[in-house]
């Protein structure tokens, strides 16, 4: 089993879609559930510059109830026609409704994706009610359990221990790398005999540009909004610290934690690494399929303005990288 130790901006979503496209299983381990995803891609195509697919996806929720001895699995399977990942209206946090500009290169909000009016949301009362075993074969049960990855709101779940995890091709220990509490937890010895993979970026220029373009999403509430150019003019120290955190420190912390607990790992280059050699994927998607910078440059109405803003960020990113004198973000 592969264990993928990717935190922020580490290609987790792309890796998930690569696995579904390549007929492999991928799982996200949270506190109270493990989400397993796999599927079959029947057909792909393009609409303008966005790639779409006709895909059947299966979702499994592995969870341990307090009133059962064995781990229970709740399943949802459906076929859909959709764009594969990104778009200029997709913030890094994948907001359903874009209420403010998220990107510097193309700040205009074009047809934000509203949340369907018919979509049902579950409150604490409903979650507790429909987490009961009498509803185990219903979609409302699946939805209730799925909402309790980090919060046992029903009071009916136990924490998922590594020995309860299902056998999958690639496991992402999401709660240990993307949850603030989990990032301080010790790493279980269970991981020692797994193939542990830590992603890194060799194209730091691309990453720095992406971070500058999305400063309002990564640092919400900053007084410059999306204007990274003005932010650097006013407070270069603030912006450089932000870039250090996203590009260097966060990725180093993951490697240091693995070393601290005696977990051997190998690196995977997000820019040049082979998904086939590392993950056994016989067919793969373009690794830039979720790159918001490329989506903006390709889809901008005013391409001249978009390119001008892009090269402004390239100049600033190059200046930052020269000040740090780093070639990639491995430890």
Q: For the chain, what are the domain ranges? A: 2-324
Instruction: Name, in order, each residue with C-beta under 8 angstroms of 116's C-beta and a sequence gap of 6 or more.
Output: none
| CA 174/CA 12 separation, integer angstroms | 10
| CA 74/CA 59 separation, integer angstroms | 8
Chain-centroid distance, C-alpha 164: 23
Per residue in 224-249, pLDDT (tens digit) is 999 999 999 999 999 999 999 999 99
Tokens of 112: 């934000």
| CA 109/CA 102 separation, integer angstroms | 9
* Alpha helices (H) in 1-114, listed in sequence order: 12-21
Per residue in 29-42, pLDDT (tens digit) is 999 999 999 999 99
What pLDDT sits at residue 27?
Answer: 98
**Of the candidates 325, 330, 329, 323, which has an alpha carbon nearest to the alpha carbon of residue 247?**
329
Output phi, psi for 38, to 5 deg: -160, 170
What pLDDT sits at residue 95?
Answer: 46
Residue with the bigger pLDDT between 118 and 97: it is: 118
User: What is the pLDDT averaged over residues 207-212?
Assistant: 96
Distance from the first to the final alpha carbon of the chain: 24
Q: What sign does the dihedral 50-51-56-62 (CA atoms) show?
A: negative
The mean predicted confidence, pLDDT, of the chain is 91
> What pLDDT band is residue 87 in, cutting at 50, 70 and 90?
very low
CA-angle at 166, arms to 11 and 28, nearest 5°: 25
- Dihedral-angle region of residue 102 (phi above 0 means left; psi in -120 to 50 means alpha; beta otherwise): alpha
Compute the half-sphere exposure of residue 186: CA atoms within 13 Å on the CB side of its CA: 6
Tokens of 156: 């009916």
């Amino acid at each position: 089993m592969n264990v993928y130790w990717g935190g922020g901006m580490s290609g987790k979503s792309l890796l998930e879609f690569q696995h579904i496209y390549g007929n492999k299983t991928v799982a996200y381990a949270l506190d109270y559930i493990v989400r397993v995803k796999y599927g079959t891609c029947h057909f792909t195509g393009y609409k303008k510059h966005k790639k779409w697919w006709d895909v059947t996806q299966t979702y499994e929720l592995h969870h341990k109830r307090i009133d059962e001895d064995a781990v229970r699995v709740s399943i949802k399977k459906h076929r859909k026609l959709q764009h594969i990942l990104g778009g200029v209206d997709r913030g890094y946090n994948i907001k359903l409704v874009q209420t403010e500009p998220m990107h510097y290169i193309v700040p205009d909000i074009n047809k934000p994706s509203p949340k369907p009016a018919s979509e049902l949301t579950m409150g604490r009362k409903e979650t507790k009610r429909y987490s009961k075993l009498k509803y185990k074969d219903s979609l409302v049960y699946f939805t209730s359990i799925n909402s309790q990855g980090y919060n046992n709101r029903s009071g009916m779940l136990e924490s998922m221990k590594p020995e309860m995890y299902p056998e999958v091709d690639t496991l992402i220990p999401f709660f240990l790398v993307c949850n603030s509490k989990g990032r301080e937890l010790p790493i279980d010895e269970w991981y020692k005999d797994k193939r542990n993979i830590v992603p890194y970026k060799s194209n730091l220029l691309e990453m720095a540009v992406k971070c500058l373009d999305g400063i309002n999403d990564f640092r919400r509430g900053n007084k410059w909004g999306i204007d990274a150019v003005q932010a650097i003019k006013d407070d270069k120290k603030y912006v450089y610290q932000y870039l250090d955190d996203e590009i260097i420190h966060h990725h180093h912390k993951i490697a240091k934690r693995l070393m601290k607990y005696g977990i051997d790992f190998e690196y995977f280059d997000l820019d040049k690494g082979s998904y086939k050699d590392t993950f056994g994927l016989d067919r793969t998607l373009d690794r830039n399929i979720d790159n918001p910078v490329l989506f903006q440059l390709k889809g901008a109405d005013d391409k001249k303005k978009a390119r001008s803003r892009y090269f402004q960020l390239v100049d600033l990113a190059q200046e930052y990288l020269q000040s740090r004198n780093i070639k990639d973000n491995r430890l």
